[in-house]
Structure 1
């Protein structure tokens, strides 16, 4: 198996472990020839290389990802990564602590918005019976 195939296989394994089979299956089903190269790049690069590195456990990577998304104002993926915390072991308290760090270093409005999204996602997860 080539190094690229190894990264893709490992990336899919990590991606499924973190985001869940249902999410990955939806993403794969929606893939088109136009965005297939992008999907391959994130599977191999983000999931098969960065997330696959054991230097930082998945729990901490989840919190880092949430903090970076909030700090940079990229809120659209926060609900997805809040759901992923149920698979990586990051608790609601862990996530709130990460967002408090965001408040100090990147601004209260960004942290406040991220917390609102997190609370909304946790409520939705509870209603769906998905409590991690």
Structure 2
């Protein structure tokens, strides 16, 4: 039997990190086949992992960027670049993570990751009406 508390806690964390619009769209796309994966991801990744006390959200974002870039998962990388910005990483920090990916995982992974992240950073900056792309988002930006 699923742990409804784990789902609810995970959903709150998932929304805080990825934003309501992203989470709502993911849940809306889930048909009877995909719904178990949405539930599992929300409970395991977003509650049992992201809510553990050992690392803060910034650190988890850094790890996710590196792992997802290394695995060449462009859709997830785009989501987690946005999440990293929401969690307070600067553009310069994201660049450093992706440079390290290029050094350890290969230039093609780095090039693709920079291309994807660059588009997200440009979008993020435009949404903030020309604000400093290296400034972390304000706490008010955490509400989608």
Same fold (TM over 0.5): yes
SS at match of 1:54: coil
Q: For structure 2, list consecutive stretches of 5 or more residues without a partner in the other structure.
A: 132-136, 138-144
* TM-score between the two structures when normalised by the length of structure 2: 0.82
Q: For structure 1, list consecutive stretches of 5 or more residues without a partner in the other structure.
A: none
SS at match of 1:55: coil
The runs of at least 4 consecutive aligned structure 1 residues that moved more than 4 Å come to none
Contact 1:79-1:121 within 8 A present in 2 as well: yes
Q: In 2, distance between residues paired with 1:107 and 1:43?
A: 31
1:40 aligns with 2:26: no
Paired residues for 1:1-132 under 5 Å:
4-129=3-128, 132=137
The C-alpha deviation readout for 1:48-107, integer Å capped at 9, x for no partner, is: 111111211111111111111111222221111111122211111111111111122111
Q: Which moves more between the two structures, 118-127 or 12-21?
A: 118-127
* TM-score between the two structures when normalised by the length of structure 1: 0.89
Contact 1:62-1:88 within 8 A present in 2 as well: yes
By percentage of residues, which structure has more helix? 1
